[in-house]
Amino acid sequence: MSLNVLRASIRTGGANPLRRASQLHRSAFRSNFNRNFSTPPPPAPEAAKSATGLYLGFGAVAAGGLAYYLLATDGGKATASTAKSGVQAVKVKANFVPTKEDYIKVYNRIADILDVDDYDDGSYGPVLVRLAWHASGTYDKDSKTGGSNYATMRFHPESQHGANAGLNVARDVMEKVKQEFPWISYGDLWTLGGVAAIQEMAGPHIPWRPGRIDGFAAQATPDGRLPDATQGADHLRHIFYRMGFNDQEIVALSGAHALGRCHSSRSGFEGPWTFAPTTLTNDFFKLLFEETWVWKKWSGPKQLEDKKTRSLMMLPTDYVLVQDKSFKKWAKAYADSQDLFFKDFSDVLSRLFELGVPTEQFVSPEPWTMPKVEEQQPVKND
């Protein structure tokens, strides 16, 4: 085991020796194998193959139409180069029809670059999950605008929205992958990044399928569509009902805060929610019930800290999950059963990542299960 792996595992394993052991196993496993395809991946479904042509055709028409629209509406100055690169991207696509195996290669590349020594808790995973969620969570079911289809966070001013502070880190990481696989759309890449990060951080499979197309700045969403952590239950419902989710789904999605941390330089808030911020567990819910949470005395925005260690945090919107009766019922259910949490989280995250994408754009009628890296290793015969 390399020193780096050991260091990263100790850093992220926290106080729990069991968790540390599982992390060591996972990291060692990951570093010991070549992620690039040791076994042939499952064949692409027939439906996917045939629908890909449709998707390519649609992509070309959409890009052409959008280019025309934008050139007509802004005189073509600001968007001319974007339109040009969009057209080039479509050309690349026209010469190359990616299969499920190609997407698995992208998945593996993302998995490869998750672990890093000099960033946060040793992984880009959490910030990639946040990128995928913020790209999708702008969806408005009434106007059918926003969502992951066009990856509009690439453009000003959406890239500068307060809620997206710090996501340039994740976009830059994804850009390296895009250079290697120029045929993939940004929306597909970012959501696949979220899927790979969750799955490789010991989470459940998140069914996913490609089909998103690159859009233009004019399709960017207005500020204010993502949740504000200083608010309460009414606000959470207002934001997530707009995307089409219910109370149970709001709570399940919030369980992603088992991962990562707040950065005062980004959101103003500070600290991690759990002791193992690079492993998905139901600890976020367990800690909400098991710890005593008190308001942190500091000059930053109102946040809670655990009375025992003062090293963990909860946002006001996290704490609401144990104060509101309807939310609390689900938070308790997820604290009691990680299996239930994983099942519901997988279901709702898969749908979150598809918000705003017209069904006919997807290359497959059903989402795919992307195999985790460890599942791609050859099966040992006794």
Q: Is 293 among the residues known to form the active site?
A: no
Q: Which residues of 217-230 are buried (b: 16+ CB within 10 A; e: fewer)?
A: bbbbbeeebbbebe
The DSSP output letter for 209 is -
Residue 173 binds to ligand HEM (criterion: CB under 6 A): no
Residue 243 binds to ligand HEM (criterion: CB under 6 A): no
Stretch that binds ligand HEM, among 5-13, 204-212, 213-221, 262-270 (CB under 6 A): 262-270
Binding map of ligand HEM across residues 296-335, x = CB under 6 A, - = no contact: -------------------x-x------------------
Residue 269 binds to ligand HEM (criterion: CB under 6 A): yes
Residue 150 binds to ligand HEM (criterion: CB under 6 A): no
Residue 260 binds to ligand HEM (criterion: CB under 6 A): yes
Active-site residue (options: 134, 161, 205, 257): 134
Residue 259 binds to ligand HEM (criterion: CB under 6 A): yes
Query: Count of alpha carbons within 13 Å of 369, Cβ hemisphere only?
Result: 9
From 164, 151, 225, 220, select the one nearest 192 (Cα to Cα): 151
- By CB under 6 A, name the one of 20, 35, 261, 372 that touches ligand HEM: 261
What is the residue-wise DSSP string for 89-117? HHHHHHH----HHHHHHHHHHHHHTSB-S
Residue 145, SS3 per DSSP? strand
- Binding residues for ligand HEM restricted to 69-128, rule: CB under 6 A: 126-127
Max CA pair span of the chain:
68
The minimum distance between CB 13 and ligand HEM, in angstroms, equals 17
For residue 3, give every residue at least 6 positions away whose Cβ sits within 8 Å of its Cβ, in sequence order, or none: none
From 269, 329, 323, select the one nearest 300 (Cα to Cα): 269
Give the residue numbers marked as catalytic.
134, 273
Binding positions for ligand HEM, rule: CB under 6 A: 126-127, 129-130, 133, 166, 227, 229, 236, 253-254, 256-257, 259-263, 266-267, 269, 315, 317, 349
